[in-house]
Structures are given as C-alpha cells and as structure tokens.
Homo-oligomer: A and B are copies of this chain.
Amino acid sequence: MHYVKHITVSSLFSLTFCVLHFPAASYTDSSDDETSPRDKAQVNTHGSSDFCVKNIKQAEFGRREIEIAEQDMSALISLRKRAQGEKPLAGAKIVGCTHITAQTAVLIETLVALGAQCRWTACNIYSTQNEVAAALAETGVPVFAWKGESEDDFWWCIDRCVNTEGWQANMILDDGGDLTHWVYKKYPSVFKKVRGIVEESVTGVHRLYQLSKAGKLCVPAMNVNDSVTKQKFDNLYCCRESILDGLKRTTDIMFGGKQVVVCGYGEVGKGCCTALKALGAIVCITEIDPICALQACMDGFRVVKLSEVIRQMDVVITCTGNKNVVTREQLDRMKNGCIVCNMGHSNTEIDVASLRSPELTWERVRSQVDHIIWPDGKRVVLLAEGRLLNLSCSTVPTFVLSITATTQALALIELFNAPEGRYKQDVYLLPKKMDEYVASLHLPNFDAHLTELSDEQAKYMGLNKNGPFKPNYYSHPFYYNRAQGNTALGKYRV
C-alpha cells in the first residue's frame, strides 16, 4: 500500500524541479558536439546539401516544435489556404535574415506554400533553434544558421544566402538591416532585380530612413515595425501576459499584497499594471508626463516620486525607455529582498553599473537572478542584470509572433505584386487596409464574428464597407518613439 502511495504521489517538490528541466530534455544538442557546422558534410534525406545547420538529424524534433507553433498561427495557415491556388509569390525569390525559430519556420513554409523560393540565415548569433533549422533544411529550404555562431560565421552565412550560383534574390526580408547592409556593400547589383525590402526592426528601419534621406535607397522598403497591429498588440498585451510570468519563473514571488512601483505609464507600463493589480499587487506609478499621470490616477494608481516610496516597495519595475530611472541612491534605500527589474528598453533604465562596486557582493542565486548584498547584509534581487525581463526570463506568446509574421508575409506579397509605380524608392508603412486584414486573419482564433456595414451605414459614416476603418496616420510611429516610455522599440534588437 505504501509503495503505491509513494510512487504515484504528485509530489510537490520533485515534480516542480522536473518541469523546469524540460528544455534541457528537449534541446539536447547544446553540449554534444563541438565541431563547427561549417566543417561538417551533411545531406538531408532528399540528397541536398545546400544548407548549413548544427545537425540535420535533429529535424524530426524540430518538426514537432513547428507543428506546436502552427496551432497558434492559424492566420498564416489560413493565408496558405486562401492564397494557395493563386500562388501570389510564384516567382518570388526571397532571401531572409531573421531569428530562426519555430514561429519563423511557419512563416517560411507559408511563403513557400504561396509559391516563393527562400534562402534563410539568422539575424542573431545566439537565437537559432538548431532543431528548427534542421527541420527547414530537411524539407529543402537552404538554411545557414546555428546557435553560437562566431561573427565570422554570421557574415559567412549571410553571404551563402545571397551569393548563390544560379539563383538571385528579388525580395529581401530583414530584421536588423545586416542582410540589407551586406547586399549594399558586396552585391549592389542585386538591387536591380529586387522589388522590395521588408524590414522588421527599429534599427533596420532607422537605417532605411537614413538611406532614403541620403537618396541612396534604390528599392521600395516596407516598415512593418510600425504597423498598427504590432504597436497596439505587442506592447500592451504582450507585457500584460509576460510580466507575471517573468517574475514567477525567476523568483516564485506571490503577487497578492505586494507593494510594486512601476516607473512609466505608457503602453508597457499599462500592461504591467493591469496584470499586477489584477493579481492583488498594490501598484503605484511614477511618470514625467502629466497626461499619462492623469490616466494613471483615473485608472486607480497613486502617482508618486520614486524617492517617496522606495523604502516600502517589494518590487520595482522600469518601463520608461529612459536611462538611470533607478539610481544607485535609490538602490541603497531599498528594503531587504526588494526585486528590481526592467520591462522598458535596452539595459540602462536601472543603473546596474553603479552596483558593480567593491563594497557590494554579487551572488548569482539562479540563472538571471542576482542577489546584490550590501555591507549590512541587505539584499536586492536584480533580474536579468537589468536587461528586458520578459525577453530574458519569460516566453513571448506565439500568437503575438503570429501577428508579426503575418504582417511580414502580407508586406512581401504587396511589394512583389504591386504594379509598377505604386511604390517608389522610399520607406512605406503597411497600408491601413492591410493592417486591418492582418487583424481580421487573427479573429477566427477567437471565433470572433465581425459585423458588416450596410450600404446605408457605410454611406452615413463615409466609409468603404471593407475598410479601411482607420485613417492612415492612425498609430503614428513617432509617437511610440517618444514619451510613452518604453515600447517595442529596441525590444527585439538592441
């Protein structure tokens, strides 16, 4: 009898530890093989060797991850179905440089399903999911990427995508501008055939605007970073979902009754505050902007100066987009056990540098969790060394990535199919109508049913029945660059 009990018990502690091991169990390749992929000869089951990944044998595991991702990316799946007969990307030769993850794989395979040929490389030397890269290579997409590339590897991979005999790209999908930069620098003649660039990141968009300003942009470019769906959904909802997750995974904190100060009440701050308040935390706000401050008041948050409350706080969260929002002086005044983290941008919001001084002891208690110990024994709990908490310590919902990926796909289709002259050599925002189309493709996920305007109503409102329902300047990028605080800018790139 007892034997059975001990075997079947849902033991609190053993299982808790188990679950946290799982990625170790899943992604087993990290330590097994030190050979550089560039030195390996690999062939997929179809006989092709036009790829370079860590280990083609991991393809099956990667396929499973892709299938899981597909479940929350039904917008792309639906796009495949709607456009499959038509093949709107037939003839497109897309070279891509993005994070290579299960979600990206769903995008790439959608592009292929729509008729495109793709070659792909990674925009970051660490972010490649090797198994996913293997799965893509196995199905015949030439992928050049692995986790832990050197910088030399990084440019070699990009080059292998672009510089291919018998294949020349006519579309570019970039995330960060490195691919575009390489083509500009090494193979400028490629641009003669390229119909357009789709760019995802702030950094890349910034470079494109500079090129445009300098009169050097030689093809149309689409700025998808500033599309409505990305801006409206990434910040508010993504932070609402991830702040709790990031804090729990690192500290196992109980939210009920915790005193929390959130610095900045832009979209990111609003998302964090909504979630924390809902789970029973007592939240107050710091703001520089009286309009955001008044919103915080009306939403039921006390608006304070950080120095007024710092001694009482259990958690301090920065969401400002500014620097040195939490200073050493304030860190000195925090109470024992106070948790400090950043949901804003880059890693300057908390003055972490000031903590690297001889009188303070750093103790790494868990991955991404440091105790900073003062001479009197007081500990402050610093998460992710002040980098973005949600990217460092939680996951980003596939659904949000689906919105981005769908926007990229539509931007590619638009640029590839646009009649001569619709787009000049300039940087464009996605037309509002396509933004709305991206949103509408995600509604079936929620079994949401849109109402259609009657002719009479459309006339009364002065709208087309099929949209756009918002004017083109709705959600203007510059707004997000500024006082709202943090935001997605800088989130997916430094």
Contact = CB atoms under 8 A, between A and B. Distances in A.
B395 A451 contact: no
A332 interface: no
Interface string A360-372: 0001011111000
Contacts of A440: 290, 293
Given A24-B24, A447-B312, A439 B11 contact: no
A446 B303 contact: yes
A11 B126 contact: yes
A296 B19 CA distance: 33
Contact of A436 (B17, B245, B282, B291): B291
Interface residues of A, number: 154
A233 interface: yes
Contacts of A300: 256-257, 277, 280-282
A492 to B, nearest CB: 6
Nearest to A155: B2
A108 B493 CA distance: 48
Interface stretch (A83-91, A160-168, A413-421, A476-484): A476-484
Interface in A378-399: 379, 384, 387-388, 391-399
A243 to B, nearest CB: 11
A40 interface: no
Contacts of A38: none
Given A68-B365, A256-B241, A469 B483 contact: yes
Interface string A65-94: 000100110000000000000000000000
B493 A257 contact: no
A277 B452 CA distance: 25
Interface in A1-27: 2-3, 5-6, 8-27
Contacts of A442: 294
A286 B10 CA distance: 25
A333 to B, nearest CB: 16
A142 to B, nearest CB: 21
Contacts of A99: 11-13
A229 interface: yes
A211 interface: no
A449 B321 CA distance: 20
Contacts of A439: 290-291, 293-294
